[in-house]
Amino acid sequence: MPEKLSYQHRPSAEPLLGRTLGEHFELIAKQEGDKCAVVDKPRGLRLSYAELNEKANKFARGLMKLGIVQGDRVGIWSTNNVEWIITQLATAKIGAILVNINPAYRVHELEYALLQSGVKLLVLIPGFKGDEYLEMLRQLAPELITEAKDHTTVCPDLKQLILIDPKSEYSRINNLLNFDVVCELGDTVPPEDLVEVSESLQFDDAINIQYTSGTTGFPKGVTLSHHNLLNNSLYGAEAMGINRDSRMCIPMPFYHCGGMVIGTLSTLCTGAQVVIPAPSFNPEKTMEAVQAERCTHLIGVPTMFIEQLEHPRFSEFDFSSLRSGFMAGAPCPVELMRQVQTKMNLTELVIIYGQTECSPIITSTTASDPLELRATSVGKVIPHLEIKIVDPETGKTVAIGEQGEICSRGYAVMLGYWMNENATKESVDLSGWLHTGDLGKMDTSGYVHITGRKKDMIIRGGENIYPREIEEVLHGHSAIAQAQVFGIPDKRLGEEVACWLQAKTGVAVDTQDVKLWLKERVAYFKIPTHFKVVQEFPMTVTGKVQKHMMREMMIKELGLEAVANIETA
């Protein structure tokens, strides 16, 4: 009898929805009407479904007034707020492609995202964590910020800026409009014009670009459609048991696929309530929001749950309203899963596994799964998707219980990487299978267990970090001959970034100076925590650098053996 292969397909009695995101939200808004849709706690703002839909329609018409048409790229560079959600819905209603920009981006990372996607209009906040966004933009598109006409723009496609919560000192800047002013502009465009545009859209149209770190040193723009996002968000809601009476606290960043799709969209497309606890993750604000709004659902990466559990005020908060949510984005220690269930009342919490390239959910546990299974696996493939595990060398499907690369196929697979056909072909094969680069095993019941990664990507607190990207930057340092970046285990973040450096002959390298130098060139979460200056790297006989040896040596030097042996889901 032939061996059973590691392949699963999840049929469903519920068909996929062939609607655009705008069509679906219009239906939900009509059904829910005066029911609260969004609570923006920092602003003290509450919007009903009818109000949220009206603001999204006004902003959509305002964008039309500014010349934004289907297929134009509209960037958003902001922390979490209600305007983020309004922009997301508005762009979907007119078929513009929303480009998510990480609030932690430095100038050169911002430049790449704006240039590569061809952003025409950028919605932004004034700044974040001491970074002045308009000053950063002044370096890239000076003619948008100043009166001077003798500058050469780095971003020729960028024509308009829309500022959320503008301050008085920005009032004289050219090409800068207040978010609310754009909504007012929408009143000058007949509502039927928006209806006509919305009805012309197809559910397979691209509406979102999300940048992932790149193994070649450059991020790749994952391009997703209405169909990708709407259906995946609804199956995320199903996995978490979200219904119209649910109240979802979202501390995850909206620019991230987890916060945007399994957070806001899973909630709003079901008729439930979104609660924004803070502009960016704050454990105390998150717990305050859960208690004040009697949230039923809470989501996050493991780091977020750890910081709440270890907060000195943790015992003061009431978590009795909580029941479900998800943990994803990084390996989840089994003991953490148990603590979250017992101490935070998240008895139905599920583990979700996926990738931005798959909208993002591929597999999920369920609330009905036994506790031990929910704590030690990432569940089964979600409805309407296929999953298989293949030998990374031959591409053949492996037998049940054997390790291989996880592949997924179905409606959730991205349209491709924006303007990067070669990278798309490397990730999605001719049969439509997305090759995740993650290694895992499938058991006889179809549950998947993650065992490692085919490539050396680091997942630090839910952020995907590719060493090559940081290495490329470090190689531009005048004192560095070579740099090797890799991940080492960390109890709080899952992984931390480590770096071994070789100095150029006759030159000394000060690692603190290197850190400061990197701070101006990469997002904070990519900066290595641990540096080591070495004379040579461990090599194979054929001259290949052995990063796994560096990792093992750093684990021993830093006394991280116990952390490295923590069991994860």
Tally: H helices and E strands in the chain: 20, 29
Instruction: From 343, 371, 389, give the residue that closes a domain.
Output: 343
Structural tokens at position 526: 């990519």
Identify whether residues 383 and 467 lie together within a single domain: no
Q: Which amino acid is at 180?
A: D
User: What residue numbers bound the domain in which 490 lies?
Assistant: 458-564
Model pTM?
A: 0.88
User: What distance in Å separates the CA atoms of residue 18 and residue 552, rounded to the nearest whole number?
Assistant: 49
Identify whether residues 221 and 110 lie together within a single domain: yes
User: What distance in Å separates the CA atoms of residue 288 and residue 14, rounded to the nearest whole number?
Assistant: 37
Q: Which amino acid is at 412?
A: A
DSSP string across 336-391 = HHHHHHHHS--TT-EEEEE-GGGSSEEEE--TTS-HHHHHH---EEPTTEEEEEE-
Q: What is the pLDDT along the chain (569 residues), one digit of tens a residue?
A: 567 999 999 999 999 999 999 999 999 999 999 999 999 999 999 999 999 999 999 999 999 999 999 999 999 999 999 999 999 999 999 999 999 999 999 999 999 999 999 999 999 999 998 889 999 998 898 888 765 555 557 889 999 999 998 665 665 677 889 999 999 999 999 999 999 999 999 999 999 999 986 545 688 999 999 999 999 999 999 999 999 999 999 999 999 999 999 999 999 999 999 999 999 999 999 999 999 999 999 999 888 998 999 899 999 999 999 999 999 887 777 778 889 999 999 999 999 999 999 999 999 999 888 877 887 899 999 999 999 999 988 999 999 999 899 999 999 999 999 999 999 999 999 999 999 998 899 999 999 998 877 777 788 898 878 787 898 899 889 999 889 999 999 988 999 999 999 998 889 999 999 999 999 999 999 999 999 999 999 976 546 678 889 999 999 999 999 988 877 66
3-state secondary structure of 540: coil
User: What distance in Å separates the CA atoms of residue 539 and residue 549, rounded to the nearest whole number?
Assistant: 9
User: What distance in Å separates the CA atoms of residue 500 and residue 552, rounded to the nearest whole number?
Assistant: 13
Identify whether residues 462 and 413 lie together within a single domain: no
Instruction: From 343, 374, 400, give the residue that closes a domain.
Output: 343
Identify whether residues 301 and 367 lie together within a single domain: no
Q: Which amino acid is at 221?
A: G
Establish if 480 belongs to a structural domain: yes
Identify whether residues 426 and 466 lie together within a single domain: no
Torsion of CA 59, 60, 64, 70, to 10 degrees: 150
User: What distance in Å separates the CA atoms of residue 267 and residue 256, rounded to the nearest whole number?
Assistant: 16
Structural tokens at position 225: 């459609």
CATH number at residue 531: 3.30.300.30
User: What distance in Å separates the CA atoms of residue 303 and residue 310, rounded to the nearest whole number?
Assistant: 11
Identify whether residues 430 and 501 lie together within a single domain: no
The radius of gyration of the chain's CA atoms, rounded to the nearest angstrom, is 23
Instruction: From 291, 317, 343, give the residue that closes a domain.
Output: 343
Which candidate, 565, 474, 472, 460, places its Cα nearest to that of 517? 474
User: What distance in Å separates the CA atoms of residue 22 and residue 30, rounded to the nearest whole number?
Assistant: 12
Establish if 1 belongs to a structural domain: no
Identify whether residues 189 and 299 lie together within a single domain: yes
User: What distance in Å separates the CA atoms of residue 258 and residue 299, rounded to the nearest whole number?
Assistant: 9
User: What distance in Å separates the CA atoms of residue 229 and residue 24, rounded to the nearest whole number?
Assistant: 12
Identify whether residues 447 and 468 lie together within a single domain: no
Give a three-class secondary structure readout of 143-182. Answer: HHHCCCCCCCCCCCCCCEEEECCCCHHHCCCCCEEEHHHH
The vertex-21 CA angle with 247 and 465, nearest 5°, equals 75
Domains contained in the chain, number? 3
Establish if 379 belongs to a structural domain: yes
User: What distance in Å separates the CA atoms of residue 186 and residue 121, rounded to the nearest whole number?
Assistant: 16
Structural tokens at position 40: 């923006």
Establish if 16 belongs to a structural domain: no
Identify whether residues 320 and 231 lie together within a single domain: yes
Establish if 112 belongs to a structural domain: yes
